[in-house]
Structure 1
Amino acid sequence: MRSIWNGAISFGLVSIPIKLVNATESHSISFRQIHAEDNGRIRYRKVCELEDREVSQSEIGKGYEDADGTIIPITDEDLSHLPLPTARTIEIVAFVPADRIDPLQMDAAYYLAAGGVPAAKPYVLLREALKRSNKVAIAKYALRGRERLGMLRVVGDAIAMHGLLWPDEVRAPEGVAPDTEVTVRDKELDLADALMDTLGEVDLDDLHDEYREALEEVIAAKAAGEAPPQAPAPAAGGKVLDLMAALENSVKAARASREAPPGGEAEVRRLPRKKKTASTSTPAATPEKTTPKKTTAKKTTAKKTTAKKTTAKKTAAKKTTAKKATSRKRSA
């Protein structure tokens, strides 16, 4: 990851060289402005109002517009002389519990990478100190021409810094809440609690940008010369006349959604083996036991008959041989 700022963390008398790296990235799809008639690109040109001509980037500087419209030029040299101790330093000013930070103040997030081998030891020291204290560090730093407020915390084995808005940059929620008097019954709160419990928790890694995926399908279809997919018709909306009924239906729908198998596929379960009853086992067992006995008996009888026949044949052969031998003796 490419660093966007190099400096140091000032931790008391300890200085930790670090590199600032963006911790987030945008996956949103961006569009170009085009001329609808011929798809020509629409470009913005930087034109000087006094000379009415286009100027290059090297000719462009900074200026502050006063209340009367007067432009006061400010050069990079002017900015380099600002008496800011945080120009190249993330200066830790306090350590506070994490719940003291209002999420409304959260801004961009960065990773702080140790700047070289000498920075490894103090970097790990600060990381372990933050872990053991269960606190976050509040710091000041200068980035992109202004001093900012930051919060340092541990993420895995790294130190992350969240840019914070200054307290006076967060608006008070005046005029946002309903100004009419509303009474909420305990039964309605119970149903709301039941709905929250039914929906339960979610693994944030399972969530994804469905709008971006649908947009990619539209772009792919247009690029292939096909008709883009059509979105389903939206459900007819209306005023909620019965809050209790709406909560009860929401709880039922959430429970049904939780009980349904993932991906819309039916859950495969092994059916239990059926137990054999007395009426079905007896007839099946009788022929199985009887048949082998009859077969064995038949085989035994056949063996005995064969043996008798063989013995009879041998006896007859012996008698014949004896008769032939006697006749030969007499003739001799």
Structure 2
Amino acid sequence: MRSIWNGAISFGLVSIPVKLINATESHSVSFRQIHTEDGGRIRYRKVCELEDREVGQDEIGKAYEDADGSMIPITDEDLARLPVPTARTIEIVAFVPEERVDPLQMGSAYYLAASGAPAAKPYTLLREALGRSNRVAIAKFALRGRERLGMLRVVGDAIAMHGLLWPDEVRAPEVVAPDAGVTVRDQELDLADALMATLGEIDLDDLHDEYREALEEVVAAKAAGETPPQAPEAAPPGKVLDLMAALENSVRVARESRGGETSGPAEEAEVRTLPRRGASSRWTPKETGGKKSTSTTAKKTTAKKTTAKKTAAKEADGRKATEKKPVAKKPTAKKRAAKSAQPAERSAARSTAEKATGAGKSTGERSTGAGKSTARKTASRKRSA
């Protein structure tokens, strides 16, 4: 790998010659600008404004533009003689716990390679000291015409350096934070925890740039004279009306994508929609789990059974009354005879008839016989009188 900077690490009085190498590389697809009419390349030529001619790279230098527009040339020798110790040195200034470094400050990543055999021993010493201390080194260095801040840490058997922004280059987050007064319920936090537990962890090596792969397919198809693949039409995003419903639905989808794995609360979560504004809640019957209440169903079933029993009993009484109609004529004759009798005799006949009528079903025939006997006695008394 090609180095982009050569210098040394200053570790107290120890100097470690190193080479700076980019630790990352870009795999993005790059494009060229063309003339759409004929496909010709669009190029940028470096032209001197005073001579109106194109110049080569060996004729190009650096300059600082002053406030009045004048140019002040700055040579590489001027930069090399800067009165700062970091011009060619990565100067370690402190060792701190890694969590003290704000990830917002992290920029480009580099590998520090030992430059030559004499650098192997001090390089290994610094690497082992960093690993045993569980700390990172904060350093200052100069690169591409400016002094920078860096963080050194152990990666495998090498020392890596992350370029850091200066603290005053990081903007405060208050300007983008939501307004105060938002309350998050415990149920929503529980569902968020369930969603995080369901998604779980992932091996970062399994992640890849799908956009780049799709772009390469489009380029290959057009190069072969074929129709580029088309993306399926995405459904328009729905408006989230209920945060709880969105969380519950997310947990369900995440579990289905994980093959039905379950963990955490909300094992049987279901999506609930908010009622319409202004709608009366009396129009919506209360249900549990989408089913009617068991107690209500039982009550309705009992009421139906009771009504059926009463109807059957009425029909049975009607049939019995129809069968006993011939017997019921004699109490009627008895009452007519009792009306013409004396008050005392009529009262006795009425009492006897009531007893015969109020008797039970099991003694119905005996009561009928007793009624006949009483009627005969009453008629005999009337004739003797």
Asked if Structure 1 and Structure 2 have the same fold, meaning a TM-score greater than 0.5 normalized by the shorter chain, the answer is yes
Partner of 2:7, secondary structure, is strand
Name the TM-score, length of structure 2 as normaliser: 0.65
1:188-226 CA distance string (max 9 Å, x none): 111111111110111000000000110111111011110
Match of 2:221 in 1: 221
C-alpha distance in 2 between matches for 1:118 and 1:72: 41
What is the 5 A alignment of 1:91-102?
91-102=91-102
Query: What is the one-letter code of the residue matched to 1:152?
Result: L
Query: What is the one-letter code of the residue matched to 1:232?
Result: P
Residue 170 of structure 1, CA deviation: 1.3
1:13-40 CA distance string (max 9 Å, x none): 1111111111111100100011111111
Residue 149 of structure 1, CA deviation: 0.9
C-alpha distance in 1 between matches for 2:230 and 2:124: 54
Match of 1:13 in 2: 13
Match of 1:113 in 2: 113
C-alpha distance in 2 between matches for 1:120 and 1:55: 44
- In structure 2, the CA distance between the partners of 1:52 and 1:180, relative to structure 1 (3 Å rule), is farther
C-alpha distance in 2 between matches for 1:97 and 1:7: 26
Name the TM-score, length of structure 1 as normaliser: 0.75
Partner of 1:35, secondary structure, is coil
- In structure 2, the CA distance between the partners of 1:56 and 1:117, relative to structure 1 (3 Å rule), is closer
Residue 241 of structure 1, CA deviation: 0.9
5+ unaligned residues in a row in structure 1: which ranges?
Answer: 262-332
What is the 5 A alignment of 1:249-264?
249-259=249-259
C-alpha distance in 2 between matches for 1:163 and 1:9: 15
* Identity %, equivalent residues: 84
C-alpha distance in 2 between matches for 1:181 and 1:42: 54
Residue 260 of structure 1, CA deviation: 6.2
C-alpha distance in 2 between matches for 1:94 and 1:166: 15
Do residues 68 (structure 1) and 68 (structure 2) align? yes
Match of 2:124 in 1: 124
Partner of 1:79, secondary structure, is helix
Query: Matched residue pairs, number?
Result: 261
Residue 75 of structure 1, CA deviation: 2.3
Query: What is the one-letter code of the residue matched to 2:183?
Result: T
C-alpha distance in 1 between matches for 2:237 and 2:7: 55
With CA pairs under 8 Å and 6+ residues apart, which has the higher RCO, 1 or 2? 1
Match of 2:189 in 1: 189
1:217-248 CA distance string (max 9 Å, x none): 11110111100001010111132111111100
1:84-139 CA distance string (max 9 Å, x none): 21122111110000000000111111111111222111111111110110000011
C-alpha distance in 1 between matches for 2:104 and 2:74: 32
Partner of 1:18, secondary structure, is strand
C-alpha distance in 2 between matches for 1:42 and 1:62: 26
C-alpha distance in 1 between matches for 2:200 and 2:252: 14
Do residues 149 (structure 1) and 130 (structure 2) align? no
Aligned-pair RMSD on alpha carbons?
1.5
Query: What is the one-letter code of the residue matched to 2:192?
Result: A
